[in-house]
Each structure stands twice: as structure tokens, then as C-alpha cells.
Amino acid sequence: MRFISLASGSKGNGYLVQAGDVTALVDAGLSGREMERRIQQAGLLASRINLLLLTHEHSDHLNSAGLLSRRFKLPVYGTAGTLSTPCGRLKPVREATERVEELPAGETLTIGPLSITPFSISHDAADPVGFVFAANGHRVVLAADLGCVTRLVAQRLAGASAVILESNHCPEMLRHSHYPLWLQRRIAGRFGHLSNADAAGLVRDVHHVGLRYLLLAHLSENNNTPRLAYEATRATLEELGATTDLRVARQGQIGAWIDLDEG
């Protein structure tokens, strides 16, 4: 089982999760052409992807979902709210492609060796979710675009082999940003985005010796830096004496494959 970040941030998001011969694309927030280019950079062909999963309907997560679904005959899975809600100029996914399948939070989809279970998160979208991926005795959990840490989120992260976790902003940078007050409040609110300190606090609560990889995601380009996000969580891991491999996902470039079957 392995995974990779194709893009992570407010300008577009996408991840690949692979187990055996099954490959899932999670979110398609870049243009269709750029999504295809980055998938090729990761060593795969978009035509070989088996399914597309959506966390929620915001454009930086589903910008090219309909196009990729039509072009490559990809089934698109999401909650009813995600599939049916428009976002700005984008049509609801249900209207952009006929290949849609509802996957409610709490239900498990199994394709080959890969099991996928969405769980509800707190964000200002219709019915947003994170995902638990399980295969070969490993669990990878994606929890991004969440304004607060609920008991359910903490439960889903517990016992994970790897976590992709939002570390969106530095509160001090946000307060001194050019953002209007209403937008600052949205970002920092219960239905906005997780701060560096909140991400580090969640890591403290759920860390265990089996947490091998931690990928910090969805960093704000204006209100955060990779160094600040990394140092906040690194300090917590050092206090815990953890050996977890900590990395930061970037907006402008793909990451490296993280293979849980190695080592």
C-alpha cells in the first residue's frame, strides 16, 4: 500500500492511494491537463486509475472531477451533498458526469485489496468527509479541510500507519494578513481550517508507536510557511520521542511515494 500527494493547498488538491492493482484518486482540484501531468509525474497513467473520491464540493477539490470522469470513464464517489452541490461556476458533479456513486460517511467501499471508509468532518461544505484507507494490514487516514478536531476525527486517526493531516495556517500570520475580518473568522472558525498548533495538538493526542508517516497538508500560501508547519509538529514529535517520518505536502509540486510495505 502506498500514497502520494499530487497537489496540496488552496489552489488545488489531489492524492493517489494504491493497493495492489487498485489506484484511487482522491480529489481533482487542478485543471484536467495539470492533473493528468502530475499523475504521469507520479509514474502512472490517468487511464489506469480505478475511481475518483471526493472529500467535498469546493473547487480546489473537484475542479476537474467531471472532466476526468468523462474522459477516463472514472466512477466518482462522494456523499450526497458533495455530488449534488454546485460551487461557483462549477456544476454539481451529478450534472458533470453520469458515473457517480454515493458513498455516505460511515459506509465502507471495498475494491480489490483496498477498503475505503469516509468519515464526517467539520468544514463549511455540504457534507464533507475525510477517508480511512486500509489494505495489507495498513491504515492511511486523510483529514484535511477541517475547522476543528471532533471526537470522531480523533478516533479515525487513532492507530493509523500514516496520516495526511491539515496544518493550514499560523494564527499570528492570519491576524496580520490582508484578509478581511470575515474571512479570517471563517478560516479560524469551527468550520474553517486547522491551524499549525491545532494540528500539532491532534498529533499529540493520537500518536502511537505504529504511526510511521505524517504528511502535513493544505498549507496556506499567504498565512503559513512549510517551515512553521513542520516545526510546530516536529516539536511535538520530539517531545513524544517519536520516530515518525514527518513531511510537508506542497502546492506546486508532487511529493514522493510513501510505501507502507517497505521497511
pLDDT of residue 197 exceeding 80, the answer is yes
| Number of other residues whose CB lies within 10 A of the CB of residue 126 | 19
Range of the domain at 163: 2-258
Which of 90-94, 162-166, 193-197 comes out lowest in average pLDDT? 90-94
CA distance 47 to 15: 16
What's the mean per-residue pLDDT of the chain? 97
Of how many residues is the chain composed? Answer: 263
Strands 51-53, 162-166: pairing is unpaired
The tally of CA atoms less than 13 A away on the side-chain side of residue 31 is: 3
pLDDT in tens, 105-142: 999 999 999 999 999 999 999 999 999 999 999 999 99
Q: What is the mean pLDDT of residues 72-96?
A: 94
Cα-based angle 258, 197, 169 (whole degrees, multiple of 5)? 80
Query: What is the pLDDT, as a whole number, of residue 151?
Result: 96
CA 75 to chain centre: 19
In a domain, residue 191? The reply is: yes
- Residue 90: inside a domain: yes
Region 197-209 average pLDDT: 97
For residue 99, being part of any structural domain is answered with: yes
pLDDT in tens, 217-235: 999 999 999 999 999 999 9
What's the pLDDT band for 100 if we cut at 50, 70, 90?
A: very high
Domain assignment present for 263: no
Q: What's the mean pLDDT in 28-36?
A: 98
pLDDT in tens, 232-259: 999 999 999 999 999 999 999 999 999 9
Task: Give the CATH number, domain containing residue 46.
Answer: 3.60.15.10
Q: Is residue 219 part of a domain?
A: yes
Query: What pTM did the predictor assign?
Result: 0.97
Q: Is residue 125 part of a domain?
A: yes
Per-residue pLDDT band at 178 (split at 50, 70, 90): very high
C-alpha distances in angstroms, 91 versus 12, 79, 103, 152? 17, 16, 19, 30
Task: Give the Å distances, CA to CA, from 14 to 17, 124, 197.
Answer: 10, 19, 24
pLDDT at 263 over 70: no
Q: Is residue 20 part of a domain?
A: yes
For the chain, what is the domain count?
A: 1
Given pLDDT bands bounded at 50, 70 and 90, which one contains residue 88?
confident
